[in-house]
Amino acid sequence: MVTRAARWLARVEPDAFHSPAVGYVTVGSRAIAGRSDGVGRERLAERTYRAFLPDLPGPIAGDGMVPLERSLLPGTGHVVLDDIVHGQGGGRPWYGSDAAVDRWWPVALDAWRTALHARGRTRASS
């Protein structure tokens, strides 16, 4: 199922297609290394990451659900958070936690401002 969803996304939105009028920022993490010889979350992450990257040799960095290599859309601003996991729970900070938002929000604001300026230039030249 994950592989089918990843293929669909790559087909309908392969990159930052609407840039520069839309500001893109992708955020990923390398908090959990997916390892077939690991323990607990590392082994589970490795199986999950393989749905996205079946042929990549391990270990694979990611947020416990999505491998870092697949979370960073080409042509976008990237923020990599080393200590953030994919979802809430487990006592670890996630992308929506204060610690994470404080790090990616300024990048998102810059992307938004840049997109606004690009749209203003487009309208002015029309």
Domain ranges of the chain: 24-121
* Cα 39 to Cα 45: distance, rounded to the nearest angstrom: 10
Residues 6+ apart with CB under 8 A from 53: 60, 67, 69, 70
Q: What is the mean pLDDT of the chain?
A: 88
Q: Answer yes or no: is pLDDT of 12 > 80.
A: no
pLDDT of 101 reads 96
Residue with more model confidence, 52 or 89: 52
pTM for the predicted model, two decimal places: 0.80
Would you place residue 2 in the very low, low, confident or very high pLDDT band (cuts 50, 70, 90)? low
